[in-house]
Amino acid sequence: MTQVPDVCTDSMWLVSHAVRLELLPLGATLRRFEVLRPDGSWRNIVLGSRHIPDYLGRNLYLGMTIGRYANRIARARFTLDGVENCLDANEGRTQLHGGTGGFHARTWEISEQTLSTVEFSLVSPDGDQGFPGELLVSVRYELLPGGAQVTYRATTDEATVVNLTNHAYFNLKGEGCGSTDDHELVVHASGYTPAGSDLIPTGEVRDVTGSAADFRGGQLLGPSRAAAVAEGIALNEGWDHNFVVDGDGFREHCRLTGPDGTVLRILSDQPAIQVYCGDHFDGSQIGTSGRPYARRAGIALETQHFPDSPNQPAFPTTVLRPDEEYTSTTRWLVE
């Protein structure tokens, strides 16, 4: 039987012959994503906190479920059906990732658990962080051959907005093994949404052709970041951009390749993906391995709807009504 590493007592594991996940009820969090290497060793490819209180103390969102609204809402407010909704502002005048008490800060119930699946559930009351309607939410993790999948579902009793994602940071060399500047990234996106210094989109969808933001043919992250700075399109000192993924339906959003040839493919049914290269890591965050996370220790690849969609009529809608069900699936495959 596969031996599982020592972990916190609140965690649970999904284990197959080639993949194993460690999950936490706090934030419905993906704490470890371990893959079996050709030499028989296991490699953890996502960042996580060594100490559980750090998940709430540093606002890094490592592997946590983000909601009700992933990314940013300008001025921490939006109008829906003629009613203005004032939200918890936790980044200046902006709401980021659902507010101070967003879904990442909740302890979720375990509604189903098998050897290969865990489903977490949460009731978000009317007025939670300022959002209207009672929202019933589930997050289901399951193992797949060569990877894993996460599926989100939500229903509401009143019109509201929903945008759920997982905030995992990946390092294909292994968690705590240095910068991801030497990783190559492909993003299947012909456009991105430019943003101001507050990271709120301007409303434009800009063609990537001829710019540092063109990842369609693949770019090394280190040189691409330098190019973004030189071009004047860098955010948060590098990449923190919402890319508009080509096509519709369930499709490959991006492909990340580590220096040893390990490949992570991310597929989803969402219209966009946020690429954030983790420039805020400063060595003070201690990972699950006991090693510190220095600058750009991992890259976040968050499948999502556009930031600030509730205030941007030209963006795809994120409105959920009582007769509808929100569903979203993201798949991580390692080769």
The catalytic residue positions are 167, 302
Output the CA angle 85-75-130, nearest 5 degrees.
Answer: 30
How many Cβ atoms sit within 10 Å of the Cβ of residue 82? 5
- Amino acid letter, residue 253: H
Q: What are phi and psi of 28, to 5 degrees?
A: 45, 55
Residue matched to tokens 């959002």: 131
Check: CB of residue 175 under 8 Å from CB of residue 153.
no
- Measured between alpha carbons, how far is 153 from 140 in angstroms, rounded to an integer? 9
Scored b (16 or more CB within 10 A) or e, 26-63 reads bbbbbbbbbbbeeeeebbbbbbbbeebebbeeeebbbb
- Measured between alpha carbons, how far is 167 from 251 in angstroms, rounded to an integer? 19
In the chain, which ranges are continuous DSSP H helix?
54-57, 221-231
- Measured between alpha carbons, how far is 317 from 306 in angstroms, rounded to an integer? 9
Are β-strands 160-161 and 147-156 bridged in parallel, bridged antiparallel, or unpaired? unpaired
Tell me the DSSP string of 101-135: TSGGGSB-EEEEE-SSEEEEEEEE-TTGGG--S-E
HSE value, Cβ hemisphere, 13 Å, CA-based, for 114: 7
Please name the helix (run of DSSP H) or strand (run of DSSP E) that holds residue 212, with its range, or none. Answer: none
Tokens of 289: 């391995």
Name residue 243's beta-bridge partners: 192, 273
